[in-house]
């Protein structure tokens, strides 16, 4: 077969021929797509106050409930909810492409 000839993706490959060429091609890596977002988040987090950062870390990295966070901080669960909403809004604004 000439070097410039196309090969079908359904061509059997491997020793047993059970795998097709198309099965060996890579797929999109969703984690790779998150790299830019994680980098932007890393730049935006220091813009928050220390308490807001701590609350977000407890909630989203520590998997604590709002009630658990409220107990730790001595505030109401409703106030924790408001603080999370406000902090996330600030992060979204800071992470917008125009604001980087």
Any domain includes 76: yes
Which domain does 83 fall in, by range?
Answer: 12-26+45-99
Q: Mean pLDDT over residues 52-78, rounded?
A: 97
Any domain includes 39: no
Any domain includes 92: yes
Name the one residue in this structure whose structure tokens are 């980087």: 100
Please provide the average confidence, as pLDDT, over all residues in the chain. 89
Check: CB of residue 83 under 8 Å from CB of residue 51: yes
Any domain includes 87: yes
Per-residue pLDDT of 9-34, as tens digits, reads 888 887 777 888 888 887 777 787 78
In which region does residue 27 sit, left (phi positive, over 0), alpha (psi from -120 to 50) or beta (all else)?
beta
- Decide if pLDDT at 96 tops 70: yes
pTM score: 0.67
Check: CB of residue 99 under 8 Å from CB of residue 92: no
Distance of CA 39 to the CA centre of its chain: 10
Minimum mean pLDDT range among 5-9, 26-30, 65-69, 87-91? 26-30
Any domain includes 32: no
What is the domain count for the chain? 1
pLDDT for position 3: 66
Task: Report the alpha-carbon distance of residue 26 to residue 31 in Å, rounded.
Answer: 14
Check: CB of residue 91 under 8 Å from CB of residue 43: no
CATH number, domain containing residue 62:
1.10.10.10
pLDDT for position 41: 92
- Report the run of H or E that residue 6 belongs to, with start and end: none
């Amino acid at each position: 077969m000439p070097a410039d000839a196309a090969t079908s993706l359904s061509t059997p490959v491997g020793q047993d021929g059970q795998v097709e060429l198309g099965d060996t091609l890579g797929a999109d890596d969703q984690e790779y797509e998150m790299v830019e977002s994680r980098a932007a988040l890393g730049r935006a987090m220091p813009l928050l106050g220390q308490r807001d950062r701590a609350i977000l870390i407890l909630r989203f990295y520590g998997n604590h409930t709002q009630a658990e966070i409220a107990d730790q901080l001595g505030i109401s669960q409703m106030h924790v909810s408001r603080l999370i909403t406000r902090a996330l809004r600030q992060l979204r604004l800071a992470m917008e492409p125009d604001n980087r």
